[in-house]
Each structure stands twice: as C-alpha cells, then as structure tokens.
Amino acid sequence: MSNQLVIPFKTSRPVDIKSAVKDYIESQHPETHPDAFRSDVEQWEALRKDAISGGVHVSRINGLLRYQAQLVFILTKLPPDIGLEISYDPVFRTRSTAALSAPNLHLELVCVVFNLASLYCQLARSQDRSQAEGVKFATNYYLQASSALSHIVDTALPSLQASYGQPLPIDMTAPFFNSLKWLMLAQAQECALGKAISSNARTGLLSKIAMRTAEHYNSAYDAIENSVPQVANAFPPEWRAHLQIKALQFEAFAQQQLSMDNNAGGQYGEEVGRLQLAAGLAKRASEKANSVSGVAKPVKDEVTKLRNDITKDLATATKDNDLIYHKDVPAPEALPKIAGIDLVKAAPIPELTQPSFLVGPSREAPIFGDLLAHGARAAVELYKDRLSNYIKDNIVDVQKSLDADITMSVCLFVRGFALDALDKKIGLPPSLLAKAGEVRQNEGNKKIESMMQDVATIATHCREAIHAAAKILEAEAQQDAVFQRTFEGNPHISREPSNRANHALLQDTLKFQQAFMTATDSDVQIRDAWLRWRETISLLGGSQVSAHGAIADHRYTLADEWLQTEIEAAIPSTSSTGSASSTILPHARELRRLLEELDDLKSSRAEIVNAARHMAAIDDIRRRIELEASAMERWVEVKPAMFEDTISSELEKYEKYNAQLEGGGEKQAALLQKIEAANSRFIDSRKRDPLVEQREQALSTLYDAYNEYKKTIGDLSQGLEFYNKLSVVTTQLAENCRVWAAEREAEVKRIHDALRQAAAALVDATPSQPDQPSVAPTRGPAQVQPERADVVMTSPRGQVSQSIPATLPPATPSKTWEPKSKFVQNALGSRAAPAAPATPSAPVPTAGPSSDNLPSPWKATVYARELNAADADWEEEEVRNVSPKKPYAHELGNLNDSDDWDDGPVLPSAPVASTPLKGSGKKTGNNNRSLNNSDRTPSGKTKTRSGRVPTT
C-alpha cells in the first residue's frame, strides 16, 4: 500500500451520439443532410469509447489528449446542448451521491480532462520510487496531473458553469479541483524531498523542502475546509485526515532537520525549542492517524517512526543543554519561521492549451470541419432580433407616439361635439352618460341616506357606551368619597382614592368623548355638503329610473334611455339653426381643413411603417455571415459578438424610414400649433352664444355632482369604518369600568365584613364573669389597651391593602380617641377636662379605676359598640348619599348630558389628541371621623344596616 493518495476516474456510460447529431443537423441546418457527417460521428464515437475505458497505461494519454482537442473544435461548430445527454459518476461514489447528467458538451470536456489528470496520478503511483528513475517519472506525472487540474479550473470549468444554468455538484466545483491540484503538487514535492534525502542533502535544505511540502498539503486541506460552497462532503474522511497528517508530519520533519543545523551552529537553546515544537506536531499527527480509520498503514508507520526519532533527539538535546550548555529555550512563537522552497513546478501541457498540435492540417482531421459554426448561426438569429427591435423601437413606436400626440392634442384643444353642434343636435357626452348610469345602478341618494342611517345607528351605540362608562365612574367616585370621610384619619384602614385608582379609565373616557365630539363636526359638514348637491345627484340617478327600480337586467337599456332623456331635458341644447352665424362658420371651416390635413399626415406615416415591415420580412443576412465565418481562424470559437460590425452595417438600411418618420413628426408639431390657434378662434366665437355657455355650465355641474356623490360615498364608508372601531373600544371601556367598580365595591364590603367579624370574635372570646358590684366611674383619665388580633385585608387584585385591627388601636400622639357615648365615658372615664360627675347609684371612690381595671366584659362591650357605631355612620352616609361635589364633573364636562351628543357620523380627518386628566384631589368632607369616634344611638347600642338596634 502506498503512502500517497490516488485520484480515481470519473466513470461514464455510452451515449447515442449519432441520433443527437442527426436531430440537430436536421433542425438547425436544413440545407445539409446528416449523412454528410457520418464519418465525423463515427470518429467521435471511437474517441469517446477509448476515453471512458478506464485503463491505466501510458498509451491512453494520447487518446485522451486527442479527444480533448476534438471536443474543443466540436464546440466551435456545435452549441453545448445538441440534445446529447451525458452522464458521469462522482469521483468518490457513495450511496447518497448520484451521477451528474446533463445535455452539455462542456461537461464532457471537463470530465475528459479530469480523467487525464487521474491517469497521470495513477501512472505516478505505479512507479517504483525506490529507484531514482521511478522518482523522476512519478514527480513528472504528478506535475502533469496538477497542470491538467489547473487547466480545468482556468479554462474548461468557467464555460461549463456559464452554460449549465444552475449550481454544479460539489465535486464539479473550483474548490474541489483546487484541492486535488495542491495535492498533486504536494506529492510531487514529496517525491523530490525523498530524492534529496537519498542524495544526502544538507539538513537546512531538507527543512525548507519539507516545509514547502507541508504548505502544499495545508493548501489542499484549506481548499476543502474553507471553500464556498463547502466541498468537504465530497471527500472521504480518511482522505481529509491524510492531508492533515501529512502536513503535520512534514512540518515536524522540517523542524527536526533545522534543529540539527542549530546544533551544528551552537544554538542549543533553539535546538531544544525546535525539537519541542517538532515533538508536538508529531504527536498530533500520530493521534490523528490512530483516531481515523482508513488511513494507510505506511502513513501510520512513517509518523510513528518520526515521532520516536524526534522524542529521542529531544531527550538528548534537553539533557545536553541542562547539564552542559544551559541555554535559554525560546517559546515556539519566538522561533524564526522556516521559508519553504520549491524543487518542482507544474508547467502547462502544450496539447491542452494548443489543441491544434494534435488536430488540424497534416494531422488528424477535425470533426465537423465543414459545418457552419453555431456562433455564425447565432449571429444570424441575433441580426433578426436586432432588426425586429429596430423596427419596433425606431419605426413602429415612433409612429405610435406621434399618433398618440395627435389624439391627446385633439382631445385637449378641439371639442368635436362643438363642431357637430353646427350641423345637428348635440347629445350628452358618453362619459357623462356612463357616470349617470353608475349613479343609477348604485341607487343614488337612496344609498347615501341608507349609509347615513347606518352611521347614526352605530354612533348612538358609541355614545351610550361612553355615557355608561362615565356614569359608572361618577357613581364609584361618590361612594369612595363617603368611605374616605368615614375612615379619615384612621392609620389602619386606608384605600386608594378614586381620583388615582380610576385615572387610566377616566383618561380613556375623556379621549373617546373628545373623538366622538370631533366626529360630530365632520358629520355636519358631510350632511350639509350632500344637501347642497342632493337635487343634482337625483337628476343623475333619474326620477323615472327610480320609479322603475325593479327593471330586470335585460331591460337596463330602456332605463338608460329614460335617464338620458331626463338629463337632456334639463340641459340647454344648441343647433345650427339657433346659434350658428356668419362669424362662427369661417372658423369652423378652417378648423375642419386643418384636421383633415392632420389625418392625411397620419395616413402617410402608416404607409412608411408598412414599407419598413415588408423590407424586414424579405431581408436575409445568412449568406454574408457564412462567408465571414469561413474566413475566421478554425480553432477560434465563433461567437455572435464577432459579427457586430456586419450587423450594424445591415441595420443602416432602415435608417431612412426612421428619418422619414422624424420629418413627419416635425410637420405634425407645426400643424398641431395651427390647429390649437384655429380652435381657440372657433371657441371664442362660440362663447358669444349664450345657449352654448349655459349648456357647458350645466354639464360641468353634472360632472361636479358625480364627483361629490363619489366623495360622499367615500366619506360615509370611512365613517362606518371609524364608528365600527370606536364601538368596539367604547364597549370594552364600559365593561372595564363595570368590572373595576364591582371590584372597588367588593373591596369596601370586605373591609366592613372584616371589621364586624373582628368585633364579634373579640366579644365571643371574652369569658363570662359572675355578677360584680357596680363601681362608679371616676373622672380621672383612663386608658383602654385591649389585646390586638389583626385581620389582614386584601385588595381585589390580591395585594395586601391594610392590616385591620381586631380591637381598638391604642391612642397615638397625633389622635386621641374620645368615645362619644356617655355610657362609655362614664364607664372608662374621659381624657378631656374633668366635668361634673353624674350621681352614681353607688358610692363614688375618690380615685376611680383605670380602663385596665375594667372587667373583660366591659372592654369587649365598649369596643363592639364603637365598631358597630362606625359602621352605622358609613351606612347613614350611604343612605343620605351626601356628595358636596361630583369628583370628576369638570373633567368629564357634560358627558352625561344627552343634549351634548350628536348622532351623526364620525369622520376622523385628523388624529384626536387625548385631553390630560386633571383630578380634583379634594375631599368631599372634613369630618375627621375614624373607627374610634363613631356615632352611637342614644342608648349606646350599635345599629345594623336595617337600622335596628341589635340585642346581645
């Protein structure tokens, strides 16, 4: 097994050359019989059979070179695609790869040259490199293989890529061929290195040769890995591993050889450094060789032997340096680079670059030597295309452009119905009849009224939704004002006020209110504009047609007649009898004469175009192209670009037609100026006729009415679209407000429920005491500090809002709790100034007991009464519904007043800016009442929601 790689052949199968050539000649060269080229076809078939045989012998080199030369000549006569389907297998065949098949002669040429390179490579491998002669032949064959691959990349492959029309397979791309080219150069350099080693060359020279060999292997590997497109999958894994191993191996060998030079020169530290670098490279090469299956055994053996040698040399050099020389060992990056040198260089193969060395006069006869080149035939077709384009661009299009100028100018300057009015009664313009028919089919004002009703219906829904949202926000704000007054000053019960909690909802309500009010102005404008044009639009729609709205489709013609009759009756009419005078008729005759002259000029221009077309139909340049093609160099591929001068000179024959058209265009421009002036004089004379002026004004009014009708329909369509969108968002806004208000109300209910539960729990938890003698309260201060059992309240969104005390909070420096009930004051004593005590039922001691001395039932009863009294205060406020001021009246304006709303359509002509929210931030009351200073009934008992006094 060799330690070098071999390029395999690209295999192919026989093809039917005879049938493909016969079909091509019959279709493209009808003047020639296919049998005239029978011998050429037989020669082609013989050459191809030998080229795909696959044998490895030096005699096959000439056969492949001859076939390549004939293909080059054939491609000067035939196009790449003659219907001959050519198929070649991939170089490295796997189950997932498929053969490349295409009707392209450039594919055949590339594969033939590739097989020539493969033949050179396989001949090099077959040489005995243990002999000097074998090394010489192997090196030469590798260099020729590299030259053949370079020829593919530089010459043959670009033509294939241009004619193939789609991306080629990865084994037919430039990176693939370049990798093989560098591989052949590397193996040629490797052979030269082996010869230098056997010749006992200096170690410094060997290191440079080995370094260049490693560089070539690296180039081959980089061409695979760094290519675009990626071609790594086209190579077997062991092939890529071989390139890496060889690159590492020869770089390590180069460092080893140069270390010997360092030793001889006394550079012992550098010697050790290079051997360390070589040892690392050899180690990587050995690991790569052992980790990838398929690597040739001779390669593994070479790497193993090199690694052992370098390891032995490194140990010796390190020992000598450590014990004797004591030189500093430089880092691998600090070592000078080894400059590689080439012992071999690939030269072009003459037979590839100059096919005439093998085919031509006094040599082998070229195939299809007597056939007209396909490039010449392409030149004939090119001339036909150029001629067709010239006729179109410079003759026909010029005619059309000049005729279009006539049409546009006559329509702009001359009103034909004005001339016809001198001879007969003028009918309605066709464009006006078409517009009137459109209005009639769309039901005219009836459709506008229906759309306005739809707009009003949706607008009402939007107004009600915004109104409902505002009402909900106002009601919730009033309830929140009562709550805030009830628990104002209590540090344990807090709740976000409405002016902050509903900020986003209120801002949306204001924004939609402003949008709605702005749309009302647009509604008024649209309605007013429509009312101004209502009668004229009705005329366009036709009253009789409206009365017969149920006409079937086949009777639409009758409806159109009614419509035309009704409009004509409303428009003043002119005729020659009533308005033509001696002043108008001369101008009319002059205008008619100029128009007839313009028609004659247009007719003569059409004759010029017909003459040019007739000449192009009988024009034939084929004979001239054939003569020029036969005089060209035989090995030059004939291309259409070579006949540019001939084509240009032939096209000059048609320039005279273009010149005639240009001259007629100048005459036409002067004539149009005369027509414009004559028409102006004619129009001026017509303007003196009052009937004409009235008719023109009436027609203009009808056109304007149609435009206003279309505009109104468009505006109402936009209004419907706007209101549909506004309806969705306002409905959602009202729903959001309802959900939010329900959450706020539930929050208040949870706070009061928690307060009641806490008070009830405190009363129930107090143990019953036996009857005790009544003790008269004293007038001294008393402090009640009941035990706390806090109840944690959560907001509707799950956030902890406040820790609600289950008992009365202790007194704080900023707020002193003073029970309102006289019964409680008598029981606990007052913190205020002493007052005259009531006559007790029992003796009054001089120093009354404090609240701490009260029995537990007294504490619980006092707190429960205070708690229920606070709840009663809130309910009384809720019943009274006292609200000094609506919290958001000035923000919402009169949103709740139905008189401020208009049911008209909303047409948002411009974006609506939101009004900034300005909350009042004012309290609705200043009672400064908290949980600790609630009102009570005169008897000291608490109230329920029904107003009854509960019994214990």
Instruction: Give the tokens for residue 750.
Output: 């949870």
The two most distant CA atoms of the chain are separated, in Å, by 159
E-only strand ranges, 313-465: none
Tell me how far apart the alpha carbons of residues 538 and 534 are, in angstroms, rounded to a whole number: 6
Tell me how far apart the alpha carbons of residues 593 and 581 are, in angstroms, rounded to a whole number: 19
Tell me how far apart the alpha carbons of residues 617 and 514 are, in angstroms, rounded to a whole number: 74
Closest CA to 867 of 760, 795, 783: 760
Q: Contact at 8 Å (CB) between 744 and 478?
A: no
E-only strand ranges, 187-249: none
Tell me how far apart the alpha carbons of residues 912 and 722 are, in angstroms, rounded to a whole number: 12
Label each residue of 421-442 as H, E or C: CCCCCCCCCHHHHHHHHHHHHC
* Single-letter code of the amino acid located at 449: E
At 573 the pLDDT is: 62
Instruction: Give the tokens for residue 12.
Output: 């192919």
Closest CA to 406 of 684, 683, 686, 676: 676
Tell me how far apart the alpha carbons of residues 862 and 856 are, in angstroms, rounded to a whole number: 10
Tell me how far apart the alpha carbons of residues 23 and 83 are, in angstroms, rounded to a whole number: 8
Query: 837-842: long-range contacts at Cβ-Cβ below 8 A with a sequence spacing of 24 or more?
Result: 837/776, 837/777, 837/778, 837/779, 840/776, 840/777, 841/774, 841/776, 842/773, 842/774, 842/775, 842/776
Q: Contact at 8 Å (CB) between 132 and 332?
A: no
Q: Contact at 8 Å (CB) between 73 and 367?
A: yes
CA R_g for the chain? 55
* Single-letter code of the amino acid located at 421: A
Q: Which residues pair with 88 in a beta bridge?
A: 12, 100
E-only strand ranges, 708-858: 791-794, 800-804
Helix (H) or strand (E) holding 471: helix 444-486
Q: Which tens digit of pLDDT belongs to each residue from 472-491?
A: 999 999 988 888 888 887 77
Closest CA to 638 of 371, 856, 435: 371
Residues 6+ apart with CB under 8 A from 216: 182, 183, 185, 186, 189
At 33 the pLDDT is: 86
Instruction: Give the tokens for residue 683.
Output: 């129009």
Q: Which residues pair with 86 in a beta bridge?
A: 102
Tell me how far apart the alpha carbons of residues 632 and 642 are, in angstroms, rounded to a whole number: 10
Instruction: Give the tokens for residue 170.
Output: 């990865």
Strand 800-804, strand 791-794: pairing: antiparallel
Low-confidence ranges of the chain (pLDDT < 70): 1, 95-96, 229, 374-375, 411-428, 542-565, 568-570, 572-584, 626-641, 686-693, 766-952
Alpha-carbon distance values, 890 to 510, 733, 881, 901, 912 (Å): 11, 20, 20, 17, 20
The number of beta carbons lying within 10 Å of the beta carbon of residue 14 is 9
Q: Contact at 8 Å (CB) between 59 and 408?
A: no
* Single-letter code of the amino acid located at 398: V
Tell me how far apart the alpha carbons of residues 300 and 333 are, in angstroms, rounded to a whole number: 28
DSSP string, 205-247: HHHHHHHHHHHHHHHHHHHHHT-SS--GGGS-HHHHHHHHHHH
Q: Which residues pair with 791 in a beta bridge?
A: 804
At 691 the pLDDT is: 64
Phi, psi torsion values for 487, nearest 5 degrees: -110, 25
DSSP string, 729-752: HHHHHHHHHHHHHHHHHHHHHHHH
Instruction: Give the tokens for residue 675.
Output: 């027509």
